Amino acid sequence: MKRYIAILLGLMAVMTASAQFDPQIGQYMYLPTAYNPAAAGEGDLMKVAGAHRMQYVDISNAPMSTWFSFSSPFVIGKTSHGAGVRFLNDRYGLFTTQSLYAQYAYRQKLGKGYLSIGVDLGFVNVGFKGDSVNLSKMGDDYHEANDEAIPTGSKSGMKFDMGLGLYYCTPVWWVGASYSHVTRPKIDWSDGTSGVEQKVTLVGTMYVAGGYHFRLKNYREWVLTPSAMVMSDFVSWDVNLTLMCDYKDRYRWGLGYRIAGSVNILLGVDIISGLQLGYSCELPTNKLLLESYGSHEIYLAYGFDILKPKRTNKYKSIRYL
């Protein structure tokens, strides 16, 4: 782990560092607004959703991420729209990130579904715990005991940020593409006294995700849902493949595989109509498995309709089959 920390600090030793990937999401199929603003207002329900992910449990300073989102469809005249907010609190090593975005999507009826174009508008705050750095105890050759390129105290900075997305959804299948950090926010921690720039640049991440619901012909209570997500910053990339099985539109379980080196076990249940709980356990397929207890993620969402009279006691949505 000392080697990993030294490499992380090495990124800070250059004039401008770049953050490559946004946080990983194991249950991406249930939290599309976390990475694609065009999914805001998808379906006919208001939705409140949140997730918490603990990466590489038992490894010090391992990533830990929390997402929260609220979105709702609405109609203006004969046009359909979606709007919402999303929040992220992320911690990885000595870095912290908090971001808050307002989301808007314009939805156009197309075929059996809706094609949406959406935008994220908000602010991102990136911090660095420089007072936790102690290079004299690293025992490596990467840095001197006093490296002016590394902040010696806690630093943080905030910048405007924007993301874009496209999303198409029908009752049977969905696909979307989005790109985060379009504005490439540059967080400057320099105090102007050392003469050395201390900056971090958030590099955009492209997401392409989609899935399909297969209801078995002779076993109508069973639904298979294969899905996939591709993430890339056009330097490196990752693919997450998932197969979920739904029983009686209430109980779910599945398996996932990430080509970066992990397998994912997913479980879920509809506690009551509209209230969904999910859990995933992601286990590395490399030597990290010997150093940690894997990555764990819990997801909770509630879909409700206060705009229309309730005709049934069963909510209908691609997220709540």
Phi/psi at 167 (5° precision): -155, 130
Average pLDDT estimate for 43-71: 92
**Residue 137's pLDDT band (cuts 50, 70, 90):** low
Residue 69 CB partners (closer than 8 Å, separation 6+):
31, 33, 34, 47, 48, 49, 50, 84, 85, 86, 87, 103
Both tokens of residue 68?
């929260």
**Residue 273's pLDDT band (cuts 50, 70, 90):** confident
**Residue 10's pLDDT band (cuts 50, 70, 90):** very low
Distance between CA atoms of 156 and 198, rounded to whole angstroms?
Answer: 11
Both tokens of residue 307?
């705009």
The per-residue pLDDT for 193 is: 61
Cβ(9)–Cβ(150) under 8 Å?
A: yes
* Tens digit of each residue's pLDDT (9 = 90 or more) over 139-156: 555 555 566 656 666 788
Both tokens of residue 12?
């800070």
Cβ(112)–Cβ(170) under 8 Å?
A: yes
Residue 272 CB partners (closer than 8 Å, separation 6+):
none
Query: What is the 3-state composition of the chain as percent helix, strand, coil, each rounded to the nearest 5?
Result: 10, 55, 35
The per-residue pLDDT for 4 is: 40
DSSP state of 286: S
* Tens digit of each residue's pLDDT (9 = 90 or more) over 183-203: 999 988 876 665 566 778 899
**Residue 304's pLDDT band (cuts 50, 70, 90):** confident
CA distances from 147 to 13, 85, 130, 188 (A): 8, 40, 11, 17
Average pLDDT estimate for 10-37: 70
Cβ(105)–Cβ(121) under 8 Å?
A: no
Strands 199-202 and 262-272: unpaired
Average pLDDT estimate for 294-314: 75
Handedness of CA 313, 316, 320, 321 (dihedral sign): positive
Both tokens of residue 208?
């392409």
What is the overall mean pLDDT for the chain? 84
Distance between CA atoms of 179 and 60, rounded to whole angstroms?
Answer: 31
**Domains observed in the chain:** 2-304 (2.40.128)
Average pLDDT estimate for 220-238: 93
- Residue 5 neighbours by CB distance under 10 Å: 17
**Residue 30's pLDDT band (cuts 50, 70, 90):** very high
